[in-house]
């Protein structure tokens, strides 16, 4: 009998009120049933929001250094549980153990960062234009925050949202990706064990229409933070706009590595392999385009293919495996479809191109690492997010052309340049329009204490992680204290020097 898991609402583990559940399976072996998870609906969301609302009344008044104590303890518990959590995560979403351990590490790092923030949460003091008057601005919590997250970073991304929200004094309803509920349970259980009071963090599992839509629409949810596809993000944005709900969106990417004629090709090749095929290409920061200067193009393609050909594909829990499966059949079908699109568009397939289905691969969702060369910037494989192990290589004649190609997509999350020339590096750093930029490193590998997010169709102007995340989960209040004992009128009674 598979284990049946429950939602967490107001310090109780409870089934969905309808009793409905869904199955979650291991993408490396679809016969491995991980468990049954609640298929929640609007009534479950209502209960979770009500609990979060009640808890907000007292949590907002807990001094931030007191809230921080809980996050310090959580950091230590995440560290102790890292290997177990990584194993559970690989089993449910497929990326290799070294990467899932890295995912848990992001939650550890973020816990420490936000715990430290509990003793800062800096506001500003400013002079007043009037005599005997004091002016300051402080951060205030907002209320109940609805967090809707993706399966590819199932512990890191929730930590980027939930921990800043908590340290600011908000309470949370968390709807994790359907594909990675066990990791969400591990995350929530750790915060409970660290001492989070009842109702401050609530977990509601299920699919998007059933469990996420009611969070977005709920009048008592003050902030929605979402990581996922651009189509879903657009719908969430529209719903939130109608009621002026604060919304933070972190969506797709079509990230690019520029390889200049003076690049160290050995480094560029390693970067393209890691950026393109790490996490099976299922990162919003994945390098799915490599734009290469014509002077080194042939040699880069040859070395890139030779290196990517050596990648060991398989079950991410097995030693030596470097690339796991796609998350599920639907995602794999999308990869297969894009490979067809690339072929039909006339791109040159130089590596892979097929689903792996023999022997040990038969029960899982595996695809070969795939490289297309001679891709042109107008092809769909060069413009649309694939979210799989498919990289497009594009030839250019100059840095200017490389930057133009880099910018000529709807998305703007991450970009990188490989060059030994500081002028190239600084020019690209300035002119490529993205939220993240790397020099002589791939497009992946963001650290939690820097702002994370993108421009154009990737985001909506907010950032998560870093101290910038506090701007999503708090509102500024400007406060004026007049201790002159008389009415002083701003802009009118200002003394002239």
Helix (H) or strand (E) segment spanning residue 487: none
- Closer residue to ligand UN1, CB minimum distance, 77 or 156: 156
Query: Residue 285 CB, nearest distance to ligand UN1 (Å)?
Result: 4
Determine phi and psi for 412, rounding to 5 degrees: -155, 60
Q: State how far the alpha carbon of 479 is from the alpha carbons of 87, 128, 328, 381, in Å.
A: 49, 11, 52, 52
- Closer residue to ligand UN1, CB minimum distance, 236 or 350: 236
Q: Among the options 92, 117, 178, 250, which is catalytic?
A: 250
Burial annotation 400-411 (CB, 10 A radius, 16+ → b, else e): ebbbebbeebeb
Query: Residue 188 CB, nearest distance to ligand UN1 (Å)?
Result: 20
Query: Residue 389 CB, nearest distance to ligand UN1 (Å)?
Result: 14
DSSP structural state of residue 374? S
Closest CA to 125 of 470, 471, 478: 478
- Closer residue to ligand UN1, CB minimum distance, 157 or 415: 157
- Closer residue to ligand UN1, CB minimum distance, 30 or 79: 79
- Closer residue to ligand UN1, CB minimum distance, 153 or 304: 153
Query: Residue 282 CB, nearest distance to ligand UN1 (Å)?
Result: 8
Closest CA to 416 of 256, 278, 191: 256
Query: Residue 149 CB, nearest distance to ligand UN1 (Å)?
Result: 9
List of long-range contacts for 426-435, beta carbons under 8 Å, 24+ apart: 427/399, 427/403, 428/258, 428/399, 428/402, 428/403, 431/403, 431/407, 432/256, 432/258, 432/403, 432/406, 432/407, 433/407, 434/255, 435/459, 435/463
Closest CA to 409 of 458, 464, 462: 458
Closest CA to 473 of 140, 72, 197: 140
Closest CA to 222 of 166, 265, 175, 170: 170
In the chain, % helix, strand, coil (3-state, to 5) comes to 40, 25, 35
Q: State how far the alpha carbon of 276 is from the alpha carbons of 67, 234, 364, in Å.
A: 39, 26, 21
Other Cβ atoms less than 10 A from the Cβ of 237: the count is 17
- Closer residue to ligand UN1, CB minimum distance, 285 or 474: 285
Between strands 455-456 and 411-412, the pairing is: antiparallel
- Closer residue to ligand UN1, CB minimum distance, 152 or 488: 152
**Rounded distance between C-alpha atoms, residue 72 and residue 113, angstroms:** 9
Query: Residue 480 CB, nearest distance to ligand UN1 (Å)?
Result: 41
Q: What string of DSSP letters covers 244-312?
A: T-EEEEE----EEEEE-TTS-HHHHHHHHHHHHHGGGG-STT-EEEEEEETTTHHHHHHHHHHHHHTPP
Residue 155's Cβ-count burial label (10 Å; 0-12, 13-18, 19+) is buried
**Rounded distance between C-alpha atoms, residue 171 and residue 32, angstroms:** 35
- Closer residue to ligand UN1, CB minimum distance, 157 or 203: 157
Q: What three-state secondary structure class fits 371?
A: strand
Query: Residue 137 CB, nearest distance to ligand UN1 (Å)?
Result: 31
- Closer residue to ligand UN1, CB minimum distance, 347 or 472: 472
Query: Residue 194 CB, nearest distance to ligand UN1 (Å)?
Result: 23
Contacts to ligand UN1 by CB under 6 A: 152-153, 156-157, 283-285, 444-446
Q: Do 297 and 395 touch, CB atoms closer than 8 A?
A: yes
Query: Residue 312 CB, nearest distance to ligand UN1 (Å)?
Result: 21
Query: Residue 492 CB, nearest distance to ligand UN1 (Å)?
Result: 51
- Closer residue to ligand UN1, CB minimum distance, 353 or 442: 442
**Rounded distance between C-alpha atoms, residue 377 and residue 394, angstroms:** 7
Q: Give Cβ neighbours of residue 294 (< 8 Å, ≥ 6 apart).
A: 261, 395, 396, 397
23 flagged as catalytic: no
* Residues labelled as active-site residues: 250
């Amino acid at each position: 009998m598979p284990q049946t898991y429950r939602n967490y609402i107001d310090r109780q583990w409870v089934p969905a009120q309808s009793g409905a559940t869904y199955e979650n399976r291991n993408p490396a072996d679809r016969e491995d049933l991980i468990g049954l998870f609640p298929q929640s609906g609007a009534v479950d969301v209502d209960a979770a929001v009500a609990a979060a609302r009640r808890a907000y009344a007292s949590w907002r008044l807990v001094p931030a250094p007191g809230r921080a104590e809980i996050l310090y303890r959580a950091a230590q518990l995440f560290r102790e549980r890292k290997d177990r959590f990584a194993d559970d995560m690989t089993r449910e979403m497929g990326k290799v153990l070294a990467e899932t351990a890295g995912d848990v590490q992001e939650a550890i790092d973020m816990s420490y960062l936000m715990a430290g923030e509990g003793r800062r949460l800096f506001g500003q003091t400013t002079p007043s234009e009037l005599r005997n008057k004091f002016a300051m601005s402080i951060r205030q919590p907002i209320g109940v925050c609805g967090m809707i997250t993706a399966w590819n970073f199932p512990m890191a991304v929730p930590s980027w949202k939930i921990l800043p929200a908590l340290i600011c004094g908000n309470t949370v309803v968390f709807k994790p990706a359907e594909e990675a509920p066990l990791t969400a349970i591990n995350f929530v259980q750790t915060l409970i064990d660290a001492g989070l009071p009842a109702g401050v963090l609530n977990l509601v599992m299920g699919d998007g229409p059933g469990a996420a839509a009611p969070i977005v629409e709920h009048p008592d949810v003050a902030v929605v933070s979402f990581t996922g596809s651009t189509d879903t993000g657009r719908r969430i944005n529209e719903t939130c706009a109608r009621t002026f709900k604060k919304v933070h969106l972190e969506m797709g990417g079509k990230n690019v590595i520029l390889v200049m004629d003076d690049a160290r090709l050995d480094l560029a090749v390693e970067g393209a392999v890691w950026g393109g095929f790490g996490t099976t290409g299922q990162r919003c920061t994945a390098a799915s385009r490599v734009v290469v200067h014509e002077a080194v193009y042939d040699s880069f393609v040859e070395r890139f293919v030779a290196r990517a050909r050596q990648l060991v594909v398989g079950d991410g829990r097995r030693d030596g495996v470097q690339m796991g499966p796609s998350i599920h059949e639907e995602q794999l079908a999308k990869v297969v479809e894009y490979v067809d699109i690339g072929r039909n568009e006339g791109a040159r397939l130089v590596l892979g191109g097929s689903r792996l289905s023999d022997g040990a691969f038969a029960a899982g969702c595996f695809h070969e690492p795939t490289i297309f060369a001679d891709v042109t910037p107008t092809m769909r494989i060069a413009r649309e997010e694939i979210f799989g192990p498919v990289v497009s290589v594009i030839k250019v004649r100059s840095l200017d052309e490389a930057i133009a190609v880099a910018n000529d997509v709807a998305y703007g999350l991450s970009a990188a340049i490989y060059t030994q020339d500081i002028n190239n590096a600084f020019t690209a750093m300035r002119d490529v329009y993205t939220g993240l930029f790397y020099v002589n490193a791939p497009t992946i590998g963001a650290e939690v204490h820097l702002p994370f997010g993108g421009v154009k169709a990737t985001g909506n102007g907010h950032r998560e992680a870093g101290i910038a995340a506090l701007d999503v989960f708090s509102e500024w209040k400007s406060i004026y204290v007049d201790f002159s004992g008389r009415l002083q009128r701003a802009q009118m009674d200002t003394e002239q020097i």
